[in-house]
Chains A and B, each alone.
Chain A
């Protein structure tokens, strides 16, 4: 079973920041938070990951709370091409049976013009 909880859907105006929340209250100390997205009918695409510090790359920022029980993915200037299902995943980094990626239901993000 997925170890994360996400709202089923959200919408955001084009050009605004999209903030996608994720709850992972049972996360273990060695588990990372990963975000993937799936644009309609395509394979999922990796976005970003983090352990406890906030992370930023060219696609997004990841904010993880101090207790690590929740996180937020931020798309700073959403465009219509960001319309997708966003998956928040927790997994360990070292190889074990727990390192496989388990997807939940995700959040369907709609960007309105």
Chain B
């Protein structure tokens, strides 16, 4: 199993550009989520999904959209990038929402200038 994969590893955007961060898992996990981590801080939950077709907001959802059309993929879309969205983004998955262990991807480092 590849586990949780994220692409790209690094990205630089200009203010106002849009892009999609990709996240995929091959473990047949129902629950997937996105976090952002700013320098020196803990992770903050952006959006999560408990299964295909179901998504919900986390702590900091503004400026981000998600969809879950398949069990494997959970892309995060930035509609109009802002410098405040400069961060490291982590995707995570678990078998169920209540599963005790979440598996995290390696992260995407995003810089918005």
CB within 8 Å of B: which residues of A? 2, 32, 34, 41-46, 49, 87, 92-95, 97, 99-106
Contacts and interface: CB of A to CB of B under 8 A. Distances in A.
A100 B48 contact: yes
Interface of B: 4, 33, 35, 41-45, 48, 50, 56, 58-59, 88, 90, 92, 96-98, 100-107
A99 B100 contact: no
A109 B97 CA distance: 29
Contact of B33 (A32, A87, A92, A100): A100
Q: Which of the listed residues B42, B44, B45 has the most CB atoms from chain A within 10 Å of its own CB?
A: B42
Contact of B97 (A44, A87, A99, A102): A99
The A contact surface, by secondary structure, is loop
Contacts of A94: 98
16 contacts: A42-B104, A43-B90, A43-B107, A44-B43, A44-B90, A44-B104, A45-B104, A93-B100, A95-B50, A95-B97, A100-B58, A101-B33, A101-B45, A101-B92, A102-B45, A102-B59
